[in-house]
Amino acid sequence: MEIKVNASKDYSVIIKDSLCELKSYAKQVIKGDKIAIITDKRVEKLYLKQVEEVFSDSKVYTYSVNGGEESKSITCYYEILEFLAENGFKRNDTIIALGGGVIGDLAGFTASTYMRGINLIMIPTTLLAMVDSSVGGKTAINLKSGKNLAGSFYQPSLVYICTEFLKTLPDREVLSGMGEIVKYSFIGSGLTLDEIKQGVNGSLIYKCVDIKRQIVENDERESGERKLLNLGHTVGHAIEKVENYT
């Protein structure tokens, strides 16, 4: 399945049950010969090797952070920028965000600012990242004063969703993604709670991404309609902040 997003940059969201077609889609958007995979320690153990193999004919560098919201920090952001510079990354090289929402935000913000913006591919590994954060171009890191206070709108050149990754997702993460899916049934049309009750599959993910696509295309920089996508997020951000992102 494929959804084309027509935003400030046009790109495809591909939904597959394996990584088999990642290479052919990525080839269409990769220009340089270097790729930096930004991931976290958990995803690294589970899936890094498979993704590296897909790109075995490029120069692949990997930067792995600790999982969790603490990694959306100025320190991690700065260290990744230095890592890219030390390894000679140029503007036509590529960052791949391999992970959940934290990795997408961190790698996306880094991609948007390194040399004023380098190519970005999202490979989301959590349900939440598949149905929400990997699509639409919001990137951010946290400040002591609050969540996502330094960020950018920066669209990826490709989002590749591999539903196989959901098999290793902890229940808590499935619930977290389900919260987003229920959100879409409230704010968009064509997705009923009965469909959601049937469980997660590619076509459910497709419907969510398509609802998000419509909203992002209408209001990419959130001056109005896009605020609908924050349903439940705003109170969640407040809770995260008072709990110090634990």
Q: Which of 110, 112, 133, 139 binds ligand GLY (CB under 6 A)?
A: 133
Q: How many residues does the chain have?
A: 246
Assess contact for 206 and 1: CB atoms under 8 A. Answer: yes
Confirm or reject binding of residue 226 to ligand GLY (CB under 6 A).
yes
Chain position whose Cβ is nearest to ligand GLY:
229
| 66-74, 128-136, 150-158, 238-246 -> range binding ligand GLY (CB under 6 A) | 128-136
Min separation Cβ 226 and ligand GLY, Å:
5
List, in order, residues 6 or more apart from 99 with CB less than 8 Å away.
38, 39, 40, 43, 107, 124, 125, 126, 129
**Which candidate, 62, 61, 54, 71, places its Cα nearest to that of 162?**
54
List strand residue ranges (DSSP E) for 66-190, in order: 94-99, 119-124, 138-143, 146-153, 158-162
Annotate each residue in 172-211 with x if it binds ligand GLY (CB under 6 A) or - if it does not, as one string: ----------------------------------------
| 40-48, 61-69, 108-116, 131-139 -> range binding ligand GLY (CB under 6 A) | 131-139
Q: Which of 50, 113, 163, 230 binds ligand GLY (CB under 6 A)?
A: 230
Min separation Cβ 99 and ligand GLY, Å:
16
Residue 234, Cβ density class (10 Å: 0-12 exposed, 13-18 middle, ≥19 buried): exposed
Residues that bind ligand GLY (CB under 6 A): 132-133, 136, 138, 226, 229-230
